[in-house]
Structure 1
Amino acid sequence: MMADDDIIKGIKKTHERMENIFRRVFTDPLALSGRGVWMPTCDVYETDENIVILIEIAGIEKKELKITLEGNYLNIKGFRKDPSKKDGRRNYYYMELNFGPFERLVFIPCAIKAEDVTVEYEQGLLKIMLPKLNIGDKEEKVIEIE
């Protein structure tokens, strides 16, 4: 019964997130123009010990980052300042860089040790290492029947 409750909670949380995404896209004119909350590129991979997330966020100060873990989701939020704002009026030939608020929600595919998560930020790459939780031993155990 407890597992069913957890599944239902997970479905409700996913539904809420989807509603938030659709609400943002259809009610925020900046989201449609590409100038609202942007999503940085990332790689997620697994090693023997960790789930590793690499996020490309050059030009962002550490103090502008917020990382939270909620259930099986890691949420990375931040803000990148536009250094060209001080240039005044400007005419663009290319406008491909994203500035302003960003958010990246990453699904974590397995249980992790939340207290042992480590984060490095170097040369524009944010590296988040989530140690996997080893569930069960590899050794065979005999279980007594009472």
Structure 2
Amino acid sequence: MSHLPWKPIRLRNLEQQIDQAFDELIHGQWGLAGPSGVWQPDIDIYETTDSYFVEADVPGVPPEEIHVEVDQYSLAISGTRRSGCVEKSAQGVCIERRKGSFYRRFSLDQAIDPHHVKRETQSGTLILKIPKLKQK
């Protein structure tokens, strides 16, 4: 009988995956929110030795409608994508794009510097660079 190598997992990662699974169950992929309700942008988080990098797909959300909250060990991103036809008298024939408010919160493994977050938006993607605090 062979033994599998033990690989420790990051508890915060596991916690986030469980939270996301429940959020998707309640709000997302099974259509319970419908086309006008809660939607959740796809978000990727990367890290280097000195920073976290966040990329969030937020097409159709004006930059001024995206709110970022950062504290020492967590990041929250929220915003609103409004409904969209420029012709106000038009009636929907096929409505697939979700709209409404979203809120995502992530726990981070290392303390971060909330005062030096760099933010930009490119082609519907929010990009954040969040420096880690130096460990003593």
TM over 0.5: yes
Equivalence for 1:69? 70
Q: What amino acid maps onto 2:109 in structure 1?
A: P
Where do 1:4-83 residues align within 5 Å? 25=26, 32-34=32-34, 35-83=36-84
Aligned structure 1 segments of 4 or more residues deviating by more than 3 angstroms = none
Equivalence for 1:107? 107
Residue 116 of structure 2 is aligned to residue 116 of structure 1: yes
Which fold has the larger relative contact order, with Cα–Cα distance below 8 Å and residues 6 or more apart in sequence? 2
Q: Which has the higher helix share?
A: 1
Distance 1:59 1:48 in 2: 33
Q: What amino acid maps onto 1:91 in structure 2?
A: V
Q: Which runs of 5+ in 1 are unaligned?
A: 1-13, 137-146
Distance 1:70 1:111 in 2: 8
Deviations 1:77-113 (A, max 9, x none): 1111222273522221x62x22121112122221111
- How far has the Cα of 1:48 moved from its partner? 2.6
Contact 2:68/2:75 (CA < 8 Å) preserved in 1? yes
Distance 1:77 1:114 in 2: 16
Residue 91 of structure 2 is aligned to residue 89 of structure 1: yes
TM-score of the two chains, using structure 2 as the length reference: 0.68
Distance 2:93 2:77 in 1: 32
How many pairs align? 110
TM-score of the two chains, using structure 1 as the length reference: 0.64
78-87 vs 49-58, which deviates more?
78-87
Counterpart secondary structure, 1:115: coil
Contact 2:55/2:125 (CA < 8 Å) preserved in 1? yes
Greater C-alpha radius of gyration: 1
CA RMSD of the aligned region, Å? 2.6
Q: Which runs of 5+ in 2 are unaligned?
A: 1-14
- How far has the Cα of 1:71 moved from its partner? 4.6
Distance 2:89 2:73 in 1: 43
Q: What amino acid maps onto 2:102 in structure 1?
A: F
Deviations 1:110-137 (A, max 9, x none): 111111111111111111111011213x
